[in-house]
Every structure is written in C-alpha cells, then in structure tokens.
C-alpha cells in the first residue's frame, strides 16, 4: 500500500470542512445561492491555510450538476454534491473545467499568452472553467499587463482565482478588478482539533498536549501542522511499534528538527557553502518559522560553540548526549573570533528586523553574510555565486 501524505489525504472537499475560513466560504456560498459569481478573485494568505483547497471546492461547486439543477439543494446545502458526473470528474482529477497554473514557474509573457488563448475556449461540459493561478505575485509586470485585458473583458465562462502569499505585490490594476479574500492564520485550537480527528481516523492515539505542541509549531498553517504530524507519526510509531503519540516524543522530534537547521547553518559556514545556506533559509520559511525566532535560537547555537571553545567541555550545554557530541565535533571547524563577530551581526539583525517588513529577504542576506564573516567565506569568494543564485529569485 502506498503511503499518502496527510495533507493530501485530508484535503477538504466541501466548504464546510475548510476550517477557520468561514468568512470566506460563507461569502462564496452566498454568491452561489444568489447566482452572482464573479470572474476574478484574489485569495491571499499564508501558505497552507486553504487557498488552493477553497479554489478547488469553488470550481467544483460552480460546475456541480445538482447545484445547477436543484434549486432547493442549491439553497439549503450549497456544497458540491460529490456524486454527479462533474463532481466525480473533479474528484478523480479528470475535470477539464479546472486549470491550475503555477505562476512561479510560468511567469513570462509567452506563458500568459498561452493561458489567454486557452481561456477563449469555453467548457465542453459544465458551466464554468476555473483558472487557479498560484503564486501570482511571481508574474512579471509585462505578464500582468498581458493579462489585464482578459480580466477586463473575461469570457462569461471563465473564473480566475489568483492565489498569493504576498498580496502587496499584486498591481492595483489587477487587484481592483477582483474580489479579494484574505485567508486567516488558523488558530492553534482549530489546528489541534483537526489533527485530533486525523489521528482518530488513522486509528492513532495521541496526547492532547502532544498535538497542541505540533499545532503551535505550525504557526497558523494547517499544511505545516499536517506535515509535522506525518513526521511525528513516522518517528513515534517506528521507534515504539505502538500506535501512540506522546508529548515527550514529539518534543524530542521537534527539537531534533530544530537542531538540524542550526547545524546546517554552521555546516554552511564551515564549508563556505552559500547554496546550502540558502536552502536553510528556504526550509526555515517553509517550516513556518518566524525569522526572529530562528535568529534567537541561532544565537544560542553559536553560544554553545563559544562555551565549548572556552570551557573545552560541553557540560554546560543543555542538550541530549548525541547533540552535545556533535557540538564537540563541529567546534573544531569554527573559529571562536569569527563566531563572536557572527553573533554580533545576528544581535544587530535581531534589533533591525523589528523595524522592517521584508523579513524573508533580510534574513537570507544575513545568513549569507555569516559565510562572508568566516575564513571559509573569505577564501573562496562566496558573495559572487551567492548573488548569482539569488538573482532569479529576486527579479521575479
């Protein structure tokens, strides 16, 4: 039996199952009841809060035959039925009435032209063709402009849903032609409840505080919570052979994952590896870390090395034995003077971050600067390739 990741397996297929976004699903359901569906929508919010999920349920709902044919059902239930031919096509991933377009990798004017061509043709079956354009803030200005006309005069059968984590990067010309929905961070309690029902469905016992710890770690993203749960299950069940998730196990695993991030940073420094450093930055972002938080713990990580350099012992480091050994081992690859300079830089950044909103970018920059401050960084000129690497990301 192939293992299906939890996030995929438990993707809601009805409005009612989309947690904590009732202000959005309710409004959409109302417009369906009134037969007033718009042509352009912006779904904004953190990753893993239900943007793509809501867009798919919406696409399914506007094409559901029961919703179209049965006014009482439409009024009273207002959910895709899951049984008609259209719904079944959607569930099998075989519907032609939904097109998902990843703007992060298809962001040229030519890509948009192709999309525009495609939009001209109506659906063969069903009512609407729904275009979900993910990471829409990655489109170039020219690509946005190429799209504007389509959005000004959309064909009657087309619905565009633009999903983005960065609303402020969408030009006003586009935003003003769309209905905007801002997806919330999901409260810890609701994430915990969702995790609990997943564990119930999987026949896995779980401590309430273990699940709460996972929920807290996810910082408002349901997807993050679910992928942490995947790891926790693999970790907890492998080790014990039991189908139980205990608080201690989860705490151990989460701190292990944390430690990994920090050791990767010092690895990247010791080997002057800018690519590895950028990977850490991306992982931090993906794993739902707050950058300030991460920097704070990174300072502590550096402090541990300084302790070892000064005391020649890992006795004062409050970490499990294998982690202490790793500190001992890695300490020889790092110069204490340089560690001090890096710590200074981090402390300074920590103060500065409070005043800026572009955290992600500054965070990447400071991590790369750490390499520059090290001997490894100065020998091989790290800055040049690092800048190269960043360029495509920044110019998008």
Point out which residues bind Zn ion (CB under 5 A): 64, 66, 81, 84, 87
Q: How far is the CB of 8 from ligand ADP (least distance, A)?
A: 6
Cα(204)–Cα(215) distance, rounded to whole angstroms?
17
Pattern 31-60, binding to Mg ion, x per CB under 5 A?
A: --------------------xx--------
Strand partners, 181: 43
Q: Which does 50 bind (CB under 5 to 8 A by kind): Zn ion, Mg ion, ligand ADP, none?
A: ligand ADP
Binding status of residue 20 toward ligand ADP by CB under 6 A: yes
Question: Min. distance of Cβ 167 from ligand ADP in angstroms?
Answer: 13
CB of 24 to ligand ADP, least distance (A): 9
Q: Alpha helix locations (H) across 203-288?
A: 208-217, 222-240, 247-271, 274-286
CB of 163 to ligand ADP, least distance (A): 6
DSSP 8-state assignment for residue 303: H
CB 229, min distance to ligand ADP, A: 11
Question: Of the two residues 50 and 126, which places its CB atom closer to ligand ADP in the complex?
Answer: 50
102 close to 132: Cβ distance less than 8 angstroms: no
CA–CA dist 286, 269 (Å, integer): 21
Using CB under 6 A as the binding rule, whether residue 151 contacts ligand ADP is answered as no
Residues that contact ligand ADP, how many (by CB under 6 A): 22
- Percent helix, strand, coil in the chain, to 5, is 65, 10, 30
Q: By C-beta, is 137 or 369 nearer to ligand ADP?
A: 137
Q: Of the two residues 66 and 185, which places its CB atom closer to Zn ion in the complex?
A: 66
By C-alpha distance, which of 270, 341, 332, 260 is closest to 299?
A: 341
Q: Cβ closer to Mg ion: 54 or 158? A: 54
CA 256 to chain centre: 21
> Which two structure tokens, joined as six digits, stand for 258?
């944390």
Q: For residues 87 and 69, what is the distance between their CA atoms, to the nearest angstrom? A: 14
- Binding status of residue 11 toward ligand ADP by CB under 6 A: yes
Count of residues in the chain: 396
| Token pair for 377 | 């960084």
Least distance from C-beta 346 to ligand ADP, angstroms?
Answer: 30
Q: Is 137 in the site for ligand ADP (CB under 6 A)?
A: no
Cα 66 to its chain centre, rounded Å, is: 34
Nearest-CB residue to Mg ion? Answer: 52
Site for ligand ADP in 198-227 (CB under 6 A): 222-223, 226
Nearest Cα neighbor of 226 from 266, 285, 171, 186 is 186
Q: Which is nearer to Zn ion, 65 or 360 (CB)?
A: 65
DSSP string, 19-41: TT-HHHHHHHHHHHHTT---SEE
Phi and psi at residue 355, to the nearest 5°: -100, -5
The option from Mg ion, Zn ion, ligand ADP, none interacting with 48 (CB < 5 to 8 A, set by class) reads ligand ADP
Q: Which residues bind ligand ADP (CB under 6 A)?
A: 7-8, 10-12, 18-21, 47-53, 163, 186, 194, 222-223, 226
Q: Which residues bind Mg ion (CB under 5 A)?
A: 51-52
């Amino acid at each position: 039996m192939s293992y299906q990741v939890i996030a995929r397996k438990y993707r809601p297929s009805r409005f009612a199952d989309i947690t904590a976004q009732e202000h959005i699903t309710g409004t959409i359901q109302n417009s369906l009841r009134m037969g007033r569906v718009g042509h352009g929508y912006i779904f904004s919010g953190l990753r893993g809060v239900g943007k793509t999920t809501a867009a798919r349920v919406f696409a399914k709902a506007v094409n559901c035959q029961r919703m179209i044919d049965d006014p009482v059902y439409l009024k009273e239930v207002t959910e895709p039925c899951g049984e008609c031919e259209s719904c079944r096509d959607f569930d099998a991933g075989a519907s032609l009435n939904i097109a998902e377009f990843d703007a992060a990798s298809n962001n040229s004017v030519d890509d948009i032209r192709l999309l525009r061509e495609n939009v001209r043709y109506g659906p063969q079956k069903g009512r609407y063709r729904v275009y979900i354009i993910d990471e829409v803030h990655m489109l170039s200005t020219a690509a946005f402009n190429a799209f504007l006309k389509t959005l000004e005069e959309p064909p009657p059968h087309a619905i565009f849903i633009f999903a983005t984590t960065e609303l402020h990067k969408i030009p006003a010309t586009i935003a003003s032609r769309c209905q905007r929905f801002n997806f919330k961070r999901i409260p810890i309690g609701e994430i915990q409840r969702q995790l609990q029902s997943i564990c119930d469905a999987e026949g896995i016992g779980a401590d309430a505080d273990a699940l709460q710890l996972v929920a807290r770690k996810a910082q408002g993203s349901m997807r993050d919570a679910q992928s942490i749960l995947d790891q926790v299950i693999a970790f907890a069940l492998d080790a014990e052979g039991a189908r139980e998730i205990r608080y201690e196990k989860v705490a151990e695993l989460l701190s292990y994952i944390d430690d990994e991030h920090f050791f990767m940073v010092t690895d990247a420094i010791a080997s002057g590896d800018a690519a590895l450093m950028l990977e850490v930055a991306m992982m931090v972002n993906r794993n739902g870390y707050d950058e300030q938080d991460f920097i704070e713990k990174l300072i502590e990580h550096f402090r541990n090395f300084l302790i070892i350099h000064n005391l020649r012992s890992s006795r004062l480091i409050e970490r499990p034995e294998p982690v202490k050994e790793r500190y001992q081992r890695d300490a020889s690859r790092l110069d204490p003077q340089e560690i001090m300079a890096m710590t200074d830089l981090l402390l300074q950044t920590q103060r500065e971050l409070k005043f800026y909103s572009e955290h992600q970018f500054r965070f990447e920059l400071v991590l790369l600067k750490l390499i520059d401050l090290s001997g490894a960084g100065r020998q091989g000129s790290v800055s040049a390739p690092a800048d190269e690497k960043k360029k495509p990301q920044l110019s998008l």
